[in-house]
Amino acid sequence: MSDTRRRVKVYTLNEDRQWDDRGTGHVSSTFVERLKGISLLVRAESDGSLLLESKISPNTAYQKQQDTLIVWSEADNYDLALSFQEKAGCDEIWEKICQVQGKDPSLDITQDPIDESEEERFEEIPETSHLVELPPCELSRLEEIADLVTAVLSSPIRREKLALALMSEGYIKKLLGLFRVCEDLDNREGLHHLYEIVRGVLFLNKAALFEVMFSDDCIMDVVGCLEYDPALVQPKRHREFLTKTAKFKEVIPITDSELRQKIHQTYRVQYIQDIILPTPSVFEDNFLSTLNSFIFFNKVEIVSMLQEDEKFLTEVFAQLTDEATEDSKRRELVNFVKEFCAFSQTLQPQNRDAFFKTLANLGILPALEIVMGMDDLQVRAAATDIFSYLVEFSPSMVREFVMQEPQQTDDDVLLINVVIKQMICDSDPELGGAVQLMGLLRTLIDPENMLASTNKTEKTEFLSFFYKYCMHVLTAPLLANTAHDKNSKVVLFVCVDNFQTAQLLALILELLTFCVEHHTYHIKTYIMNKDLLRRVLVLMNSKHTFLALCALRFMRRIIGLKDEYYNRYIIKGNLFEPVINALLDNGTRYNLLNSAIIELFEFIKVEDIKSLIAHIVDNFYNALESIEYVQTFKGLKGRYEQEKDRQSQRHSRSQLFICRYRRDARSLDEDEELWFNDDDDDDDGEAVEKRMEDDFSDSYGKYMEAKKGTFWYFSLVFSLSLETSPTQRQNSNTYTALVGLVDYPDDEDEEEEDEEEEQSPRKRPRLSS
């Protein structure tokens, strides 16, 4: 038994009725003591961990689909599937399941699943009623057959029984034979009945029936039956579209006949689901869940088969990048790759990872550089779709390629610059393609999706690259539509202010606003070097209000950062002037522009951005004081005056502190008197003098330490609060110099008084008794 034969993928059905890939491994059937029965075990091929352990229950309904799938339900809303690499492995496990349950392996379903809500009704069904009895497949009985099929749709048990009956008697092919007869006879009544029958059979939601109905022999007759909807006056021509209009083009010949058949089948089944059948919301939930699964697994198989054919894909990319390839051929190749990428969305993340890595290794990104620069609109649109798949899957992969491009080449041929130019040159009046490309650029320059990268320097390196090689291309339309008069230092709006140009500039401003919010250093440097905010605010004059709002939003983001570098730049450039002019020109109209400008100033007031408040009040308050329908500008003036009062009070407190220090310094001299007294009496004798000397030595040392600490404290305070000359700082080691830090007018008088006191006999140190 080979490993590949038992190689499987484990799938579970999620809440959105989509299959989630749980991993790839090897399946075996063995007795598990803990579960007390034969069980299916799947161990991961990567690390041997247990992906699945499921006991084969005697009452579980297992289904075999498409020769390589086994599907079953273990609990309510918990469906499992094993997708085998080889049919032989699927057959082996299927035989084991049927052996445990005592069923015939030739059937594709082991037993009828019982809906718990219908257990009582099931008990009422006679033992002999194992299958639904179908009327003879004749023209005269078509109405009876249609009624039967329609009637069973409300009962899960009867749906199961009808499906078994249709499979066991080969009934489907007989019905499709009657369709050809009715169409030859133009029997409209019979054709309408066949429409109801075929649609009802699809709603039975059984994979075994789909295998028959969607086979090469039957699928076009199934489509034909679905053309004759009784609600339509004339039948739809779906078969004509599938056979004549929809042409299958092999850009590179596909030698694998099974792969070619699978592609045809999947396209036609998808067409039935998307075009022919009514929208699912009209019917009960999950009526076509198996049809969704059928298409899903077909796509997975197609992508896997194409991906494994290295010769085929290598040839596709070789011709795609060959300069000699004709434009029509290249268009077909691009559309093929687009469809290939679209199919890859059915893959699970780990499989999709391998898929896109394969495309990257084959040169998908260099190929996109070529095709996105072509004049053919269809080719560019398809290339944009491919690029979006790559960016959404792995922005880091695209960034890595971009930074590795040869720097000696012209900036115009860099992939990101090609994308930016496509955005700028979008000919669509609504700029649909430009909006899509702008979203992709935003993803590429978003630091949030750079943080998870294994390359820790990706953010720094890529942003440096982008601002050096690409930012000037992005801002070129903005700079081109505003002219700068260097002599008068006045910026004039010179662009033809048409709607499409305004839309483009709005997209660019949206991206630049994103940069302000997320690229603090790089965008700040760029804005100040290019004086970009001045150029942006010119657009406040645009007749298109949405563009003026975009310019205002750009400034609002800058101010929202509360960065003093930006604030000084705004003040120095007097950049509030165009905003205030726009507010005044707007007059009394209460519109979005008015509200946005008011919000900008309200933010400055609430956040108390002092430098901007002072600038606005000093320069523009006379023009703004007449606006009284909001209190914003009066509030700004109030903040401004409060700050002036605060500064004044701070200055007064500083002066008061200086005066208090003079008084405190003098009080220290008075405290000193506690250690000295005026008594000069020496009549106490030698014993007293000895005790006085000892006590004095100890007390005086403690006093000087305390006094030294006090002087040091005042030295620190005044060093921080007052400006001192170098000469004063050098003389700060003594008490006399400390006092001299403050230059009072009467300092000289005080010094003379101190000298007199030091010479007086009353100040000689003496300890009192």
Q: Kindly report, residue by residue over 101-150, the tens digit of the pLDDT.
A: 878 787 777 765 444 444 444 334 333 345 578 888 899 999 999 999 88
Domain boundary residue, one of 559, 594, 611: 559
Per-residue pLDDT, averaged over 248-274, amounts to: 87
Whether pLDDT at 723 is above 90: no
Lowest mean pLDDT: which of 499-508, 578-587, 667-676?
Answer: 667-676
Asked whether residue 508 is domain-assigned, the answer is: yes
**Whole-number pLDDT of residue 648:** 80
**Whole-number pLDDT of residue 607:** 93
Q: CA–CA separation, 434 vs 384, rounded Å?
A: 10
**Whole-number pLDDT of residue 349:** 74
Q: CA–CA separation, 766 vs 669, rounded Å?
A: 16
**Whole-number pLDDT of residue 664:** 54
| DSSP per position, 533-564 | HHHHHGGGG-S-HHHHHHHHHHHHHHHHTT-H
**Whole-number pLDDT of residue 75:** 65
540 in Cβ contact with 581 (< 8 Å): yes
Identify the CA nearest to 156 among candidates 16, 284, 294.
284
Q: CA–CA separation, 112 vs 161, rounded Å?
A: 7
Residues 64 and 163 in one domain: no
27 DSSP β-pair partners? 42
Residue 438 dihedral angles phi and psi, to the nearest 5°: -60, -40
Edge-first strand order for the sheet with 78-84 is: 50-55, 37-44, 19-32, 7-13, 78-84, 69-75, 62-65
> What is the domain extent for residue 627?
562-651
Whether pLDDT at 752 is above 70: no
Continuous H helices in 456-498: 458-469, 471-480
**Look-up of token digits 């657009």:** 539
Asked whether residue 710 is domain-assigned, the answer is: no
Residues 272 and 343 in one domain: no
Residue 171 dihedral angles phi and psi, to the nearest 5°: -70, -30
Whether pLDDT at 213 is above 60: yes
Lowest mean pLDDT: which of 159-163, 533-537, 564-568, 669-673?
Answer: 669-673
Residues 184 and 214 in one domain: yes
Identify the CA nearest to 465 among candidates 425, 516, 513, 405.
405
Asked whether residue 585 is domain-assigned, the answer is: yes
Residues 530 and 585 in one domain: no
**Whole-number pLDDT of residue 680:** 45
Q: Report DSSP state, residue 186.
A: T
Residues 471 and 568 in one domain: no
Q: CA–CA separation, 518 vs 652, rounded Å?
A: 44
Q: CA–CA separation, 371 vs 335, rounded Å?
A: 11
pLDDT, tens digit (0-9, with 9 covering 90-100), for 632-684: 999 999 998 988 888 888 767 766 666 655 555 544 444 444 444 444 444 44
Q: CA–CA separation, 43 vs 28, rounded Å?
A: 9
Per-residue pLDDT, averaged over 410-425, amounts to: 84
Per cent of the chain over pLDDT 70 is 76
Structure tokens at 535: 């150029």
Identify the CA nearest to 20 among candidates 389, 300, 357.
300
**Whole-number pLDDT of residue 112:** 54
Q: CA–CA separation, 478 vs 531, rounded Å?
A: 12
Residues 340 and 374 in one domain: yes
Residues 587 and 628 in one domain: yes
Residues 193 and 156 in one domain: yes
Whether pLDDT at 323 is above 60: yes
**Whole-number pLDDT of residue 628:** 87
SS3 state at 20: strand
Q: Measuring CA to CA, how many Å separate 480 from each of 437, 472, 492, 546?
A: 21, 11, 11, 19
**Whole-number pLDDT of residue 492:** 56
Domain boundary residue, one of 101, 127, 156: 101
Q: CA–CA separation, 431 vs 300, rounded Å?
A: 34
38 DSSP β-pair partners? 31
SS3 state at 342: helix
731 or 107: which leads in pLDDT: 107
741 in Cβ contact with 733 (< 8 Å): no
Q: Predicted confidence band at 699 (pLDDT cuts at 50, 70, 90)?
A: very low
SS3 state at 484: strand
734 in Cβ contact with 715 (< 8 Å): no
Q: Encode 26-64 in three state secondary structure.
A: EEEEEEECCCCEEEEEEEECCCCCEEEEEECCCCCCEEE
**Whole-number pLDDT of residue 720:** 40
Residues 555 and 567 in one domain: no
Q: Predicted confidence band at 192 (pLDDT cuts at 50, 70, 90)?
A: very high
Query: What separation, in Å, do the N-terminal and C-terminal C-alpha atoms of the chain show?
Result: 114
**Whole-number pLDDT of residue 660:** 59
| DSSP per position, 200-260 | HHHTT--HHHHHHHTSTTTHHHHHHHHH--TT-SS---HHHIIIIIS----SS----HHHH
Residue 744 dihedral angles phi and psi, to the nearest 5°: -85, 150
694 or 170: which leads in pLDDT: 170
Q: CA–CA separation, 243 vs 238, rounded Å?
A: 9
Which range is most confident: 10-14, 167-171, 618-622, 749-753?
618-622
Lowest mean pLDDT: which of 499-503, 537-541, 723-727?
Answer: 723-727
Identify the CA nearest to 130 among candidates 98, 158, 96, 92.
158
Q: Predicted confidence band at 689 (pLDDT cuts at 50, 70, 90)?
A: very low
Taking every pair of Cα atoms in the chain, the longest distance, rounded to a whole number of angstroms, is 154
**Whole-number pLDDT of residue 662:** 55
**Whole-number pLDDT of residue 489:** 53
636 or 67: which leads in pLDDT: 636
CATH code, domain carrying 553: 1.25.10
Asked whether residue 125 is domain-assigned, the answer is: no
Average pLDDT, the chain: 78
Structure tokens at 72: 């079953």
SS3 state at 70: strand
Asked whether residue 687 is domain-assigned, the answer is: no
SS3 state at 199: helix
CATH code, domain carrying 56: 2.30.29.30
Residues 419 and 533 in one domain: yes
Whether pLDDT at 694 is above 90: no
Structural domain count of the chain: 5
pLDDT, tens digit (0-9, with 9 covering 90-100), for 476-485: 999 888 765 5
Q: Measuring CA to CA, how many Å separate 20 from each of 77, 81, 579?
A: 14, 10, 54
Whether pLDDT at 90 is above 80: yes
Lowest mean pLDDT: which of 49-58, 166-175, 277-286, 433-442?
Answer: 277-286
Residues 388 and 427 in one domain: no
**Look-up of token digits 């699964």:** 293
Q: Measuring CA to CA, how many Å separate 642 from each of 219, 604, 613, 662?
A: 83, 15, 11, 30
Per-residue pLDDT, averaged over 623-631, amounts to: 88
Per-residue pLDDT, averaged over 580-596, amounts to: 90
17 or 316: which leads in pLDDT: 316
Residues 506 and 440 in one domain: yes
40 DSSP β-pair partners? 29, 54
Lowest mean pLDDT: which of 51-55, 178-182, 475-479?
Answer: 51-55
**Whole-number pLDDT of residue 221:** 95
Whether pLDDT at 747 is above 70: no
pLDDT, tens digit (0-9, with 9 covering 90-100), for 709-720: 444 434 344 344
28 in Cβ contact with 41 (< 8 Å): yes
125 or 69: which leads in pLDDT: 69
Number of helices (H), then strands (E), belonging to the chain: the values are 34, 9
Domain boundary residue, one of 382, 398, 414: 398
**Whole-number pLDDT of residue 160:** 83
Strands (E), 430-527: 482-485, 490-493
Whether pLDDT at 179 is above 60: yes
* CA 45 to centroid of chain Cα atoms: 32
Q: Predicted confidence band at 573 (pLDDT cuts at 50, 70, 90)?
A: very high
504 or 699: which leads in pLDDT: 504
**Whole-number pLDDT of residue 657:** 62
**Whole-number pLDDT of residue 679:** 46
